[in-house]
Amino acid sequence: MPVHLEDLVTLKRYALHDLFSRGAEKPSWENLLGYEFRGWNCAWWVPKKFVKGFFLGKQNGEAGVPLGYNIPVARDGFLSYNPKKPWQLLPGDMHPKHERFFTVSEVDKKACDNKFPDALLLDYGAAERWTPLRDYLRQLDKDLFIGKAYFAARGLRLPVSYFIMGRFREVSYEGAGIPEKR
């Protein structure tokens, strides 16, 4: 099995499906907390590189809630991304933009988002703006994760793509949490 993010980005969809279904296990929240992860979207129609971070924050007045965010990443050239080149955070590495917040939770087998009970659910629907995206996250090894993204609409869940994440750096994000919905 490939053990680096750079190895996994070349896999075809059927191999990613097999890896997600049989080669991964449910991650623990504690293994994500306080870290950012370099990520690679495996679909051709979405930006390839991203960074996800995980922290304990505040949501709906409740403190200590498992949350996450995304950081946009620059292209490596005109309309191109290269997994062997560094992830350049936007607008800059020292003060990146934290956006597209999500909650992190166990999958509730009785809820609509229950496709993979042996994964963690990253729910973007809890963000500042209504976002119809749900990610299921599984762990390949200590520092490597695979996810499957779904478009959520009126009880339907349509598969979007797979993504890969590798541990990037330890962080101490002091964000207030998910902004209130408006």
pLDDT (tens digit per residue) in 105-126: 999 999 888 999 999 999 998 7
pLDDT at 179 over 60: no
pLDDT tens readout for residues 10-64: 889 999 999 999 888 999 999 999 999 999 999 877 778 999 999 998 888 888 8
Q: Is the pLDDT of residue 7 over 60?
A: yes
- C-alpha angle 35-164-101 in degrees, rounded to nearest 5: 50
Determine contact, residues 157/150, Cβ cutoff 8 Å: yes
Q: Is-cis flag, bond preceding 91, omega within 30? A: yes
Q: Note the CATH architecture for domain 5-170.
A: Beta Barrel (2.40)
CA neighbor of 167 nearest in space, from 18, 31, 2, 17 = 31
Read off the pLDDT of residues 159-178 as tens digits, 9 standing for 90 and up. 999 999 999 999 987 766 66
- Higher pLDDT, residue 1 or 14: 14
Phi and psi at residue 38, in whole multiples of 5°? -70, 135
pLDDT at 181 over 60: no
- The CA-based angle 158-67-161, given to 5 degrees, is 25
Could you say which DSSP state residue 110 is in?
T
- Rounded CA separation 128/53 (Å): 17
Instruction: Flag whether pLDDT at 2 surpasses 70.
Output: no
Which sequence spans correspond to the domains of the chain? 5-170
pLDDT at 175: 67
Q: Round the average pLDDT of the chain to a whole number and report it.
A: 87
Region 76-99: mean pLDDT is: 86
